[in-house]
């Protein structure tokens, strides 16, 4: 897991990054919103669950959490969900009803603690309203983003993600061409259906994001971005339907990828 960092006065990022040898890294973020009723958005990957729980506790006592907003039930968002729910007995699990029911096939979800939510619905976190919004791109139909109506922070689930050359804490630190290439690589692999969309209607979907006038873009797979970056990020997403379709590694390429991963894992000086 990477070092947690703060974005603005009341948002903390719990970041990890997945190495993609020869390509770069994929950020995977969960977030804590220090609302009057504290909120955790997603729960990281399972592999570094001990570190995730420590990082969470360094920001807020999990027992104080009142809401756990699960954007969708993919494995890179549910890694510590069981442990967090156990450590946060006062928290309600805000998610799509079907995400809760689907998760109940692999862990005993306390369904009486589920606060089912749909796009357009909102929760009251004491000092602010958190509105459920649809992300413009998604890899899971149960995806639900969050707009913090008091600060304008927009949590966009998997949308606006990017494969990046290195770990950074601000999108402004990524060279624009590398950012655009990394975003297109991610979007075409994570939302391959985007090649099928009507361009005009997709443009309307992106315009709806712009209409929200977010002050920050907080993707699950991108370092924090200020609202100033929104125009550039949207211009990149406009290109997704016409971008080169993504082709995953085949047998041989996967073998090379495993070899590169093993090489990375070798202690320094171990190779002859």
Where does this chain bind Fe ion (CB under 5 A)? 74, 76, 139-140, 158, 220
For Fe ion, the closer CB: 148 or 158: 158
* Minimum CB distance to Fe ion, residue 268 (Å): 31
* Minimum CB distance to Fe ion, residue 161 (Å): 7
* Minimum CB distance to Fe ion, residue 37 (Å): 25
For Fe ion, the closer CB: 37 or 161: 161
Cα four-point dihedral sign 223, 79, 64, 98: positive
DSSP state of 114: E
Rounded-to-integer distance, Cα 28 and Cα 204, Å = 28
* Minimum CB distance to Fe ion, residue 132 (Å): 16
Question: Which is it for strands 153-155 and 145-148: parallel, antiparallel or unpaired?
Answer: antiparallel
DSSP string, 117-180: --TT-EEE-SS-EEEEE--SS-SSTT--EEEETTT-EEE-TTTT---BSS--S-GGGS-HHHHH
* Minimum CB distance to Fe ion, residue 142 (Å): 9
For Fe ion, the closer CB: 4 or 161: 161
For Fe ion, the closer CB: 161 or 214: 161
* Minimum CB distance to Fe ion, residue 31 (Å): 13
Rounded-to-integer distance, Cα 239 and Cα 27, Å = 22
* Minimum CB distance to Fe ion, residue 266 (Å): 29
For Fe ion, the closer CB: 33 or 159: 159
List the beta bridge partners of residue 208.
none
Rounded-to-integer distance, Cα 42 and Cα 68, Å = 7
With CB atoms as reference, the residue minimizing the distance to Fe ion is 74
For Fe ion, the closer CB: 76 or 148: 76
Torsion of the alpha carbons at 27, 211, 37 and 113, rounded to the nearest 10: -80
Rounded-to-integer distance, Cα 238 and Cα 183, Å = 11
Placement of tokens 């156990």 in the chain: 86
CA nearest to 160, candidates 130, 190, 131, 119: 190
For Fe ion, the closer CB: 34 or 246: 246
């Amino acid at each position: 897991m990477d070092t947690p960092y703060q974005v603005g006065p009341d948002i903390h990022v719990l970041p990890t990054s997945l190495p993609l040898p020869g390509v770069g890294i994929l950020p995977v973020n969960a977030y804590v919103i220090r609302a009057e009723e504290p909120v955790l958005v997603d729960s990281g990957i399972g592999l570094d669950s001990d570190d995730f729980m420590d990082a969470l506790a360094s920001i807020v006592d999990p027992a104080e959490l009142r809401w756990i907003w699960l954007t969708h039930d993919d494995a890179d968002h549910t890694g510590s969900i069981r442990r967090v729910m156990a450590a946060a007995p006062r928290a309600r699990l805000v998610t799509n009803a079907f995400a809760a029911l689907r998760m109940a096939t692999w862990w005993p979800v306390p369904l009486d603690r589920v606060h089912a939510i749909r796009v357009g619905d909102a929760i009251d976190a004491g000092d602010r309203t958190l509105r459920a919004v649809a992300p413009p791109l998604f890899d899971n139909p149960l995806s639900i983003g969050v707009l913090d109506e008091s600060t304008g922070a927009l949590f966009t689930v998997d949308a606006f993600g990017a494969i990046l050359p290195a770990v950074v804490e601000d999108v402004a630190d990524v060279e624009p061409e590398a950012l655009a290439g990394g975003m297109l690589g991610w979007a075409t692999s994570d939302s391959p259906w985007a090649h099928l969309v009507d361009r005009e209607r997709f443009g309307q979907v992106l315009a709806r994001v712009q209409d929200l006038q977010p002050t920050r873009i907080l993707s699950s797979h991108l370092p924090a971005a200020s609202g100033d970056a929104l125009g550039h990020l949207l211009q990149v997403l406009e290109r997704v339907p016409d971008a080169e379709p993504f082709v995953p590694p085949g047998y041989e390429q996967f073998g090379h990828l495993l070899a590169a991963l093993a090489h990375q894992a070798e202690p320094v000086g171990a190779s002859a």
